[in-house]
Structure 1
Amino acid sequence: MRTDARRNVESLLEAAKTVFGTAGVDAPAKQITDLAGVGVGTLYRHFPQRADLIKAVIEREIDACADAAPALAGELPPGDALARWLDRLAELIATKRGFAAALHSGDPAYAGLPGYLLEKLAPALGSLLDAATAAGEIQAGVTPRDLLYAVAKLGAPLPGEEPGYGRRMVALLVGGLRRD
């Protein structure tokens, strides 16, 4: 991909992330392209269907979350790195208005996302869990898959729920993992 095309895709993904976070996944394409500083044709050249754009935004966010694990592990004690990473994951889940409905719409474009999420996030979480367990900061026996599902359930926003509620529930879960 040419440099300018790659830059346009990055601008579109960042703009879509912002717009989806405030207006939901059904926001007008023009709102996304205006924020990205590109034309609507550029959007549809790279993302012919809305599902393609939604999927790309989700994958990008999953990648960023996975990439944050080693950085946090290098900066913080193991238990704190785990807690901060889980908070980041909960924030990702809570701030994506309309993603859950889109993902459960039956659109085949999203069929691979659960596997992609596990493939990317389970190893990142596993390394944080292993370090926190080895340091004696959390109890043993928690699997990355179990914790990913728990955070997804707790962090998903419910209609009418106050902002930040899911993240507070995830913080309670993390508190329960810690050894006294």
Structure 2
Amino acid sequence: MTTGSVNPRRADTRRNHERILIAAAESLAGSGEVSFNAIAKHAGVGVGTVYRHFPTPEALILAVYRREVRHLVEVVPALLAEHPPEQAFRVWTTDHLAHYMMTKRGLATALRSASATGGDLPANAYEAMVGAVATLLKANVEAGTVRAELEPETVLRGLGGLLYLDSADEWRKQAAALADLLWRGMCTHRD
């Protein structure tokens, strides 16, 4: 008889997988490099475990990219449930998208290398990001805080300025300033 519980080895495997992806994302955000030894040490696993999960650096890079995009999309409903729409937009921008943009900067070169060696970049990543922005905009339009004619693609392009954040500087403050600037252009009334 099964109880429906998860096999402890599988749960441990999933935890290791996630720890490896977190360590790799931090490494890519900082140095832009993928060192399986450094990632294994940071994740608290053996280097063989990293290779079992990700046989090549390209596989690891693509997995980090997919994880980051998936997180950005999946966090939106939780933020809208927890915060008023305007605050959800700001939290998503400063706490989630800004972090992703810094990681993406390190990922950019690695992604070019990964795709050049046959790795497949998720074709729907941009569409998923536009969908996340559309969801945030829709909630804000319904709350009467932003103009209804805003295009999610335009807002996402405006948020592209987050790519210029410096992780060694006061990036949260800079992200909040960019979100505020963009917000003032989006809102239904001028303060």
Q: 1:48 to 1:162 in 2, by over 3 A?
A: same
Instruction: Give 2:121's match in structure 1, choosing from 97, 105, 112.
Output: 112
Q: 1:116 to 1:163 in 2, by over 3 A?
A: farther
**TM-score using structure 2 length:** 0.78
Q: 2:3 is matched with which residue?
A: none
**d(CA) in 2 for partners of 1:55, 1:13:** 10
AA aligned opposite 1:101: T
Matches within 5 A, 1:1-180: 2-22=10-30, 24-87=31-94, 88-105=96-113, 106-107=115-116, 111-113=120-122, 115-151=123-159, 153-157=160-164, 162-164=169-171, 167=175, 168-180=177-189
Cα offset, 1:161, TM superposition: 8.8
Q: Deviations over 1:59-84 (max 9, x none)?
A: 11222221211111112222222222
**d(CA) in 2 for partners of 1:171, 1:67:** 23
Contact 1:154 1:166 in 2 (8 A): no
Q: 1:161 to 1:43 in 2, by over 3 A?
A: closer
Contact 1:62 1:117 in 2 (8 A): yes
Contact 2:79 2:92 in 1 (8 A): yes
Higher Rg of the two aligned structures: 2
Q: Which runs of 4+ in 1 moved over 4 A?
A: 108-111, 158-163
Contact 1:157 1:166 in 2 (8 A): no
In structure 2, the gaps of 5 or more residues are 1-8
The root-mean-square deviation of aligned C-alpha atoms, in Å, is 2.7
The total of aligned residue pairs comes to 177
In structure 1, the gaps of 5 or more residues are none
